[in-house]
Chains A and B, each alone.
Chain A
């Protein structure tokens, strides 16, 4: 009996291990709903020209490194010139600031209106700002 107690004393107590995982932002992409407005109406862009405009805006402000960011145009409507973009979260600030500072396309004045930004694509389906209350 005494032998058993001394053996138990010598055994090290099992250490309680726990792991703490903190997710600050589990989503690695950010989704932006944007709309391009021209000063004079009647200017049309197809989706390739639209993406070229975005890449050239990034390249102007942040160079080749930013122009190589994985940017996707998920949807595009040619009539309203609005689109949903996807960018990796580390490049969101660069994309948004280069959209803000974009002034013209082929000599014509234009501006980007950012309607919604969210790390979740589902959030872009409903916009409480456009709610019509009867």
Chain B
């Protein structure tokens, strides 16, 4: 009953440039978000948001970022994310924007949402696919994820959620 409550923001880095996602780094991104909050919300915003702030998960291949912040100030962080317009890495600037997918109270809820979201994205990719080889590869991963989904429904009582989540996210 007496604990610090957090909010976990699940965001996706969207960019035209394919090199932008590969240059994602948790410390650089964390620093960029802190600077943006300081610019948009001033000294008050920077101080209040940076206490519980951390970049918890980063996937350079899909561009998914999981940020953590205190529950009392998560709206300041949320409102500062649209002001991020570029990512800087080794002197190169890549224009991009952060799309907030989900706000959750725990990492587990964000993980569950991410699994469902990735499954839906696989189906959308399958529809928009042009190359035959790509189509086969995506169909294989869709069937694999469906099998994993069936298996997870059967084994609901046992706590194997972490493993299949890791497999499904790959």
Residues of A within 8 A of B (CB): 58-66
Interface majority SS (helix, strand, loop, mixed), chain B: helix
Query: Which B residue's beta carbon lies closest to that of A62?
Result: B42
Give the distance in Å from the alpha carbon of A63 to the alpha carbon of B41 in the complex. 4
Query: How far is the CB of A130 from the nearest CB of chain B, in Å?
Result: 34
Identify whether the interface residues of A are mostly helix, strand, loop, or mixed.
helix
User: How many of chain B's residues have a CB under 8 angstroms from any CB in A?
Assistant: 9
A76 CB to closest chain B CB (Å) equals 25
Q: Which of B39, B42, B79 contacts A61 (CB 8 A)?
A: B42
Q: How far is the CA of A21 from the CA of B79 in the complex (A)?
A: 32
Residues of A within 8 A of B4 (CB): none
User: Can you list 10 A-B pairs, Cβ within 8 angstroms, ordered by A?
Assistant: A61-B42, A62-B41, A63-B38, A63-B42, A64-B39, A64-B40, A64-B41, A65-B40, A65-B41, A66-B41
Judge if B30 is at the interface, Cβ distance under 8 Å. Answer: no
* Minimum Cβ distance to chain A for residue B21 (Å): 28
Residues of chain A within 8 A of B41, CB atoms compared: 62-66
Check B39 against A62 for contact (C-beta < 8 Å): no
Shortest CB distance B36–A (Å): 10
Collect the chain B residues with CB atoms within 8 Å of residue A62's CB: 41-45
A59 to B43, CA, bound (A): 9
Tell which of A60, A63, A66 has the most Cβ of chain B within 10 Å: A63
**A-facing mask of B28-51, CB < 8 A → 1, else 0?**
000000000011111111000000
State in angstroms the CA–CA spacing of A104 and B44 once bound together.
19
A63 nearest in chain B by CB position: B42
A79 to B96, CA, bound (A): 51
In whole angstroms, how far apart are the Cα atoms of A65 and B78 in the complex? Answer: 13
Which A residues touch B38, using CB under 8 A?
63
6 closest cross-chain pairs (CB), A and B = A63-B42, A63-B41, A62-B42, A63-B40, A61-B42, A64-B40
Question: Across the interface, which residues of A come within 8 angstroms of B39, CB to CB?
Answer: 63-64
| Residue ID in chain A nearest B41 by CB atoms | A63
CA distance A91 to B38 in the complex (A): 19
6 new A-B contacts at CB < 8 Å, known A60-B42, A62-B41, A65-B41:
A61-B43, A62-B45, A63-B40, A63-B44, A65-B79, A66-B42
Q: Which of B38, B42, B43 has the most CB of A within 10 A?
A: B42
Interchain CA distance A60-B41 in the complex, whole Å: 9
Chain A residue nearest in CB terms to B37:
A63
Q: What is the bound-complex CA distance between A63 and B48, given in angstroms?
A: 13
CB distance from B38 to the nearest CB of A (A): 7
Bound-complex Cα distance A61 to B39 (A): 10
Chain B residue at smallest Cβ distance from A64: B40
Contacts of A61 in B (CB 8 A): 42-44
Query: Which B residues are in CB contact (< 8 Å) with A63?
Result: 38-42, 44-45
